[in-house]
Chains A and B, each alone.
Chain A
Amino acid sequence: MSATPLGMPAFPDAARDALRDTTLRGNLRHATHTIRDKRARAVAELSDWARLREAGKQIKDHTLRHLDHYLLRLEESVTAAGGTVHWAADAADANRIVTALVKATGEREVVKVKSMATQEIGLNEALAAEGIRAYETDLAELIVQLADDRPSHILVPAIHLNRAEIRDVLVSAMGDWGRPAPDGLTDAPAELAEAARLHLREKFLRAKVGVSGANFMVAETGTMVVVESEGNGRMCLTLPETLISVVGIEKVVPAWRDLEVFLQTLPRSSTAERMNPYTSMWTGVTDTDGPSAFHLVLLDNGRTDTLADEVGRQALRCIRCSACLNVCPVYERAGGHAYGSVYPGPIGAILSPQLRGTGSAVDASLPYASSLCGACYDVCPVAIDIPEVLVRLRERVVEGGPAVRRGTRVVLRPARGHAAQRAAMRAAGWVFTRPTALAAGQRLLSRTRRLHPRRLPGPGRAWSADRDLPEVPEESFRDWWRRTSGGRDSAGGSGREERS
């Protein structure tokens, strides 16, 4: 993944800013709680949700098991429909392909509809380096671009900004990118939307090249599917002469029929709608309508490596609905930027360290950016057991082990910096397999109970900076049990103590 955040700090450090920023926390809390409640209502309307979820999981698992087959099938269908398929092994490959395609048209600007894959590979920057300007047309994505910011949510990239902040961005930056914001713009939603509409309209009518992603690709027919709420995506797909779609290889589904499942689960999970306001499907090119040239860039960028891990591969089932972000208590407090990737939240915590490896500080810390509360697994419409994958990745960080990197089997060494923890875990493991040692330790703890400081130095400081330590009892349970034969002897049989 080229967009590896070089020098991006580990998650706990990156989260610190968001924790201090009360406006940001308020924005996030409000937005995520609103959408999670709506999602719960939209899902509750369907009596067969559990079956839809299971079906989605099965379809994706089946496809992933036979991914090579379905990708070749897709290539055939797209080609037969007049499109051209390009294979990109990594970000650099994909950027090179897209840049060359744009240059071949002689154009210097492209309009884009929100695409995680192009964010993932840093396409806008790559195009800019070649003198090509990419205009984001998804409203939230546009705001982030104008603000020179980074997206912080899969579906609502500007979730961290409130209306007043958005107004300020539009007023100060729109003029640099095209049609400026109207005079006297307020932060009323309708006014903001109208300003963006006028600004974008100009771009749509001028653009000769569109760049998109896709939510699904149907192998059987070569059909690409984009679902969205604003209709800007549809403009991007239909108005330009050339359309270039960059899509991760895991987005393929075998047959048209499979959409029946996902077009129900995706909108309800993401925007809490029964159906997406705009569902666009296009198959190759036609003479009379839409783009006259269609290029599909199939992006690997760590996906086949991810497929090699029997636990972690389930992350590739993800349909990017963002439901897991909206229920995640850690995301809610830390904000999307702390995850150092276009994929934040629980899915980001398992996807980024698999696509990019666990080499960087942020990627090694992401598997620990969760309390394993399980809320993400509960809402996921394709039943990705995110906590299980997190634990699997923690294992990779601390114990190393076999993995596939760039198609080659490697044995990963444990990440550095875990020596103290490893020693502590070993020691605990030693004690936990020796009950007499545990009892001795407990007695030592009890005997010295009056001497325990209220705040600890060293690694314990993280605990005791804001939390009191529990008071150590005079006697462990096992000693009580031994002394009183489980309370059958009179001494202390019904003893109980006040806890602090």
Chain B
Amino acid sequence: MRVALFLTCVNDTLYPGTGRAVVKLLAGLGVDVDFPLGQTCCGQPQYNTGYRRGTEPIARRLAEVFRDHDAVVTPSGSCAAMVREMYPRLGERARAEGRGDALATALAPLADKTYELTEFLVDVLGVTDVGAWYPHTVTYHPTCHGLRSLRLGDRPLRLLRAVRGLELVELPGAEECCGFGGTFAVKNPGVSVAMGTDKVRSAEGTGAEVLCAADNSCLLHLGGLLGRQGSRMRPVHIAEILASTREEVRR
């Protein structure tokens, strides 16, 4: 099986450590991932802000970049949801506008073979114990797209529970949105910060050292709040926890 990593623009630019963790994690499980350098972004910022037509070329090229792979893995719930849920809609809308099936046909294969990381681990590889070691208390925020679009359910929690040394503590109000929402964070900064502050407060209330999620976009926002508020809690992507081994430098 030829597996490609779709890292997403945010991770590529700001969180390369997450990308390296995914590569290492999957290699440890015997999956050699490919990283086509032609990849950029899924177009979610455009689409969600209302630039649907502007999203089309971005989506087309992403589908083209991964044309020859059997599976595409991404450590971002919202980007996985974009490709899986919204790409088919882009195709439908183009059809409804009388522009034929070309877009739908181009995008469908990518939508069908894209997996969010934890989904790929549990459903495709069939593992929940990835052999990780991470001696910290962790609380998990199950981002909106992971929860309500991809229906990841307890997959991430099963993976975390199998990590040696890790103490998982429940996050109260876990299912509530953190307030990031892409451009929402800058268009409605007041409400966004209020939502994020509540999330950060309940996370801190758990006493955990680490706030974990399967999407760096939410962590970018929550980490920004934690940083500004001088909190000692660290935001960490689940891939980095799952890639941690005993040989690692202690974090």
Q: Do residues A467 and B35 form an inter-chain contact, with CB atoms below 8 A? A: no
Contact of A12 among B38, B47, B176, B187 (CB under 8 A): B187
**Min CB gap B244→A, angstroms:** 9
Contact with A along B94-110 (1 / 0, CB 8 A): 00100000000000000
Kindly state the separation between the CA atoms of A445 and B188 in the bound complex, as whole angstroms.
26
Partner of A15, one of B39, B58, B190: B190
CB contact under 8 A between A16 and B176, given known A487-B23, A499-B234: no
Could you list 18 A-B pairs, sorted by A, with CB under 8 Å?
A: A12-B188, A16-B190, A310-B96, A371-B184, A377-B148, A394-B48, A396-B50, A398-B51, A425-B54, A432-B9, A435-B37, A438-B40, A462-B189, A466-B225, A467-B196, A470-B14, A496-B240, A500-B227
Give the docked Cα–Cα distance between A299 and B31 (Å): 61
Q: Does B24 contact A (CB under 8 A)?
A: yes
CB neighbours (8 Å) of B196 from chain A are 467
**Segment touching B, from A229-237, A313-321, A326-334:** A326-334
Say whether A7 faces chain B, with CB atoms less than 8 Å apart.
no
CB–CB A432/B43 < 8 A: yes
Q: A256 in the interface, Cβ–Cβ < 8 Å?
A: no
Q: How far is the CA of A467 from the CA of B200 in the complex (A)?
A: 12
B91 within 8 A of A: no
Q: Given the known A-B contacts A333-B194, A333-B195, A459-B186, are A435 and B48 also in contact in the complex, defined by CB atoms under 8 Å? A: no
* Complex Cα gap A500–B233 (Å): 10
B20 engages A370 (CB within 8 Å): no
B85 to A: closest C-beta gap in Å: 9
* Distance in angstroms between the alpha carbons of A473 and B39 in the assembled complex: 19
B220 beta carbon closer than 8 Å to chain A: yes
Contacts A11-B188, A333-B194, A463-B224 known; A399 to B53 CB distance under 8 Å?
yes
Expressed in whole angstroms, the Cα–Cα distance for A425 and B11 within the complex equals 19
CA distance A374 to B85 in the complex (A): 13
For the complex, what is the distance from the CA of A464 to the CA of B235, rounded to whole Å? 18
Residue pair A374, B144 in contact (C-beta under 8 Å): yes
Chain B: minimal CB distance from A376 (Å): 10
Interface residues of B in 91-133 (CB under 8 A from A): 93, 96
Q: Does B17 contact A (CB under 8 A)?
A: yes
CA distance A459 to B185 in the complex (A): 11
Whose C-beta in chain A lies nearest to the C-beta of B236? A499
- Of A311, A395, A429, A434, chain B has the most CB atoms within 10 Å of the CB of A429
Q: Which residue of B is nearest A497, CB measured?
A: B17
Residues of B within 8 A of A425 (CB): 45-46, 49, 51, 54
Q: Among the interface residues A334, A429, A469, A477, which one has the most CB atoms of the partner chain B within 10 A?
A: A477
Q: In whole angstroms, what is the CA distance A369 to B17 when docked?
A: 33
Partner of A499, one of B15, B20, B34, B182: B15
Given contacts A373-B148, A466-B193, A496-B21, contact A442 B13 (CB under 8 A): yes
Q: Does A87 contact B (CB under 8 A)?
A: no
A282 lies within 8 A of chain B by Cβ: no
Q: When A432-B40, A433-B57 are in contact, do A368 and B189 touch as well, CB less than 8 Å? A: no
In angstroms, Cα B191 to Cα A413, docked, is 29
Are A398 and B49 in contact, CB atoms less than 8 angstroms apart?
Answer: yes
CB distance from A490 to the nearest CB of B (A): 14
Query: Is A482 interfacial (CB-CB < 8 Å)?
Result: yes
Are A370 and B181 interface neighbours, CB within 8 A? yes
Answer yes or no: A175 CB below 8 A from chain B CBs: no
Q: How many positions in chain B have a CB within 8 Å of any CB in the partner chain? A: 80
Instruction: Assess the B17–A473 pair: CB atoms within 8 A.
Output: yes
In the bound assembly, the distance between CA atoms of A428 and B175 in angstroms comes to 31
Q: Cβ of A205: which chain B residues have Cβ within 8 Å of it?
A: none
Decide if A372 is an interface residue (CB 8 Å cutoff): yes
Asked whether B207 is an interface residue with its Cβ less than 8 Å from the other chain, the reply is: no
> B162 an interface residue at 8 Å Cβ cutoff?
no
Which chain B residues lie closer than 8 Å to A499 at the CB level?
A: 15, 17, 223, 234-236
> Is the C-beta of A68 less than 8 angstroms from some C-beta in chain B?
no
Q: Is the CB of B16 within 8 A of A19?
A: no
Q: How far is the CB of A212 from chain B (nearest CB, A)?
A: 35
Is B179 on the interface with A (CB-CB < 8 A)?
yes
Contacts of A469 in B (CB 8 A): 224
**Which of B23, B54, B187, B248 is in CB contact (< 8 Å) with A429?**
B54
Contact B24 A432 (CB under 8 A): no
User: B24 touches which one: A329, A475, A487 (CB < 8 A)?
Assistant: A487
When distances are taken between beta carbons in the complex, the residues of chain A under 8 Å from B194 are: 19, 333
- Taking CB atoms, residues of chain B closer than 8 Å to A432 are 9, 40-41, 43, 58, 61
- Shortest CB-to-CB span from B29 to chain A, Å, is 15
Q: Which residue of A lies closest to B86 (CB)?
A: A391
Given contacts A330-B188, A330-B191, 5 further A-B contacts (CB under 8 A): A12-B188, A329-B195, A373-B177, A467-B193, A475-B16
Assembled-state Cα–Cα distance A477/B223 (Å): 20
User: In the complex, A480 Cα to B89 Cα: how many Å?
Assistant: 35
Taking the closest CB of chain A, its distance from the CB of B73, in whole angstroms, is 14
| A192-B7 Cα distance, complex, nearest whole Å | 59
- A24 CB to closest chain B CB, in angstroms? 12
Q: Are A395 and B40 in contact (CB under 8 A)?
A: no
Residues of chain A contacted by B137 (CB below 8 angstroms): none
Report whether B20 and A477 are in contact in the complex, using a CB–CB cutoff of 8 Å.
yes
- On whether the beta carbons of A470 and B220 are closer than 8 Å, the reply is yes
Interface hits, A391-442 → B, CB 8 Å: 391, 393-399, 421-422, 425-426, 428-429, 431-435, 438, 442
| Nearest CB on B from A393, distance (A) | 8
Chain B hits for A240, CB < 8 A: none
Using a CB-CB cutoff of 8 Å, which residues 59-110 of chain B contact chain A? 61, 89, 93, 96
A399 CB contacts on chain B under 8 angstroms = 50-53
When distances are taken between beta carbons in the complex, the residues of chain B under 8 Å from A333 are 191, 194-195
Whether the pair B187, A368 counts as a contact (CB closer than 8 A) is yes
Complexed CA–CA distance, A126 and B33 (Å): 68
Question: Which A residue's beta carbon lies closest to that of B53?
Answer: A399
Does A172 belong to the interface (CB within 8 Å)?
no
A480 close to B148 (CB less than 8 A): no
How many Å from the CB of B215 to the closest CB on chain A?
A: 13
The 9 A-B residue pairs whose C-beta atoms are closest, nearest first, are A371-B181, A394-B50, A467-B224, A468-B227, A373-B177, A477-B16, A477-B19, A374-B148, A373-B144
Asked whether any CB of chain A lies closer than 8 Å to the CB of B12, the reply is yes
How far, in whole Å, are A431 and B35 apart by their CA atoms in the complex?
A: 18
Considering the complex, give the chain B residue whose CB is closest to the CB of A29. Answer: B198
Residues of B within 8 A of A92 (CB): none
With A and B bound together, what is the CA distance between A154 and B56 in angstroms?
38
